[in-house]
Structure 1
Amino acid sequence: MIDDEELFAADLIGRRLLKVTTAWHHYADDDPSLVHLWLHLESLGPVLFHTPSTGLSLRAGQPHGPYSMGEYGSLSVTDDSPDVPVTRFVGQTIRSVRQIDYNDGHVGFTAGLTLQFPSGSIRLLGLVDDLLIAHDQHLGAVEAHLHEDVSLARVVQTSGGCPSQWDAWTTTGQYLYLRYRHGEGSVEQHPSEDVDTWDGEESSLWTSWDDGTNGSWIDLTDFLTTAGLLLAPGAEVHTTNGRGRGADTGLRPA
């Protein structure tokens, strides 16, 4: 991997977190603020998370050392600090990376990412030049303007055996392909359920995991729980009768 190479959310999926490095700005008597975050990922190397203005930038890059900023204070660099919430996931594999959008009715932008691990998740946000790591915390008034596209309005089971698979649409209309086979589950984003549309830039991997069971079947509830997805209130769920794609036996609200 080349230093300063731009990376994408899907590049992180399936990578084990080996180490966390943080850079903190210290100035006068103010509390230190987080400037840079590096996640050291197996087979990928250190990934730099920083916020150029709003939102996050992901790039390949080695951590630098501490240095003085003169009248602007100093920068300290720390590895695996217990005070950094993401450190608790060291040794675990990133299962999914989901986009967090901000929209207050006047301004809209991609604010950050949620990284899901087997034991929990963490939010990394870039808000007005500040890098924020949020774990199990409510962010006050800004919380009402943050949104993740994880609620499903409609789910159609297309195979009930091996693989277990579904077509799904989120409440914003995004199509997702859900699949589980040999203990491996995945969620893919595509423009539509038409496989001829799956090769472009609008297609990407959302989630991938291996539960180690080599199982050939999973029910929808367990799949959604593992993948970090939800059924929206009143969601349509169609089940197959075993005849294959599109053979639905009924409709039930969630």
Structure 2
Amino acid sequence: MIDDEELIPADLIGRRLLKATTAWHHYADDEPSLVHLWLHLEGLGPVLFHTPSTGLALRADQPHGPYSMEEHGSVSVADDSPGDPVTRFVGHPIRSVRQIHYNDGHVGFTAGLTLQFPGGSIRLLGLDDDLLIAHNRHLGAVEAHLHEDVTIARVVQTSGGCPSQWDAWTTTGQYLYLRYRHGEGTVEQHPSGDVDTWDGEESSLWTSWDDGTNGGRIELTDFLAMAGLQLAPDAEVHSTPPLVPKA
């Protein structure tokens, strides 16, 4: 992979985390703040997570060494720092990458990403030019304005087994294609359930995992749990599949 190559979230899915490198800005009187995060991913190399202003940017990039900043303290760089919550996922693949949206009624933007691993998940956020790693961490008042599109309002089973698959719509109206075959589960985002709309920029992979069973059947509740999705309390669920599943 070429340094400075821009990446998209779907590029990370299925990649095993080898190590994490963090760069911290140390000021004279304040607590250190996170400047950069590199995730070293199998088959992809180091990926830099940084915030240009708001939100996150991803690109292929080698970690920088420690350096001083005139009149602005210094930056230290460390691999797999014990205090870094990302390190607990070293050795595990990234199962899904989902966008985190910020909307306070006046301003709306994509604030960051949730990376889901087999053993849990972590949020990476870019807010007000600050890079934040949030694992089981409540961010205070800003939490009310953060949203992930993970709640299913309507789901229709289109095949009962080999593969198990469903058409689903989130509470915001986003269409998702859920599929499980040969032990592998995937969630794809598309503009609609019409397969003729699936080749554009609005289509992307959300989730992919392999449970090692080579199975072809899974219950909806188990699939959603593996994918990090949930049913709305009043979700409309149709479990009778048509005779012919999608290809």
> Shorter-normalised TM-score: what interval?
over 0.9
Q: Does 1:207 align with 2:207?
A: yes
Task: Provide the aligned C-alpha RMSD in A.
Answer: 1.1
| Partner residue, 1:130 | 130
User: Are the aligned partners of 1:160 and 1:242 in contact in 2 as well (CA < 8 Å)?
Assistant: no
| Partner residue, 2:46 | 46
| Partner residue, 1:73 | 73
Provide the rounded CA distance (Å) in 2 between the counterparts of 1:118 and 1:105.
34
Provide the rounded CA distance (Å) in 2 between the counterparts of 1:245 and 1:233.
27
Unaligned runs of 5+ in 1: 247-254
Q: How far is the alpha carbon of 1:70 from its aligned partner?
A: 2.0
Provide the rounded CA distance (Å) in 2 between the counterparts of 1:138 and 1:68.
32
Q: How far is the alpha carbon of 1:90 from its aligned partner?
A: 0.3
User: Are the aligned partners of 2:157 and 2:241 in contact in 1 as well (CA < 8 Å)?
Assistant: no
Query: Secondary structure of 1:88's partner?
Result: helix
Q: How far is the alpha carbon of 1:244 from its aligned partner?
A: 3.8
User: Are the aligned partners of 1:13 and 1:208 in contact in 2 as well (CA < 8 Å)?
Assistant: yes
| Partner residue, 1:151 | 151
Alignment of structure 1 residues 1-254 onto 2, 5 Å: 1-240=1-240, 243-244=243-244
Query: Secondary structure of 1:70's partner?
Result: coil
User: Are the aligned partners of 1:175 and 1:191 in contact in 2 as well (CA < 8 Å)?
Assistant: yes
Query: Secondary structure of 1:72's partner?
Result: coil
Counterpart of 2:200, as a letter, is G
User: Are the aligned partners of 2:156 and 2:241 in contact in 1 as well (CA < 8 Å)?
Assistant: no
Counterpart of 1:89, as a letter, is F
User: Are the aligned partners of 1:95 and 1:115 in contact in 2 as well (CA < 8 Å)?
Assistant: yes
Provide the rounded CA distance (Å) in 1 between the counterparts of 2:224 and 2:165.
12
Provide the rounded CA distance (Å) in 2 between the counterparts of 1:49 and 1:26.
19
Provide the rounded CA distance (Å) in 1 between the counterparts of 2:68 and 2:229.
45
Provide the rounded CA distance (Å) in 2 between the counterparts of 1:108 and 1:192.
23
User: Are the aligned partners of 1:157 and 1:245 in contact in 2 as well (CA < 8 Å)?
Assistant: no
Provide the rounded CA distance (Å) in 1 between the counterparts of 2:145 and 2:241.
41
Query: Secondary structure of 1:199's partner?
Result: coil
Deviation sequence 1:156-186 (CA, Å, 0-9, x none): 0000011000000000000000000010000
Unaligned runs of 5+ in 2: none
Counterpart of 1:143, as a letter, is E
Query: 1:241 and 1:60, CA in 2 relative to 1: closer, same or farther beyond 3 A?
Result: closer
Counterpart of 2:195, as a letter, is V
User: Are the aligned partners of 1:188 and 1:204 in contact in 2 as well (CA < 8 Å)?
Assistant: yes
Q: How far is the alpha carbon of 1:2 from its aligned partner?
A: 1.0
Provide the rounded CA distance (Å) in 1 between the counterparts of 2:137 and 2:21.
22
* TM-score in terms of structure 2 length: 0.98
Query: 1:153 and 1:61, CA in 2 relative to 1: closer, same or farther beyond 3 A?
Result: same
* TM-score in terms of structure 1 length: 0.95
Percent identity reads: 85
User: Are the aligned partners of 1:82 and 1:88 in contact in 2 as well (CA < 8 Å)?
Assistant: no
User: Are the aligned partners of 2:178 and 2:186 in contact in 1 as well (CA < 8 Å)?
Assistant: yes
Task: Provide runs of 4+ in structure 1 moved above 4 Å.
Answer: none
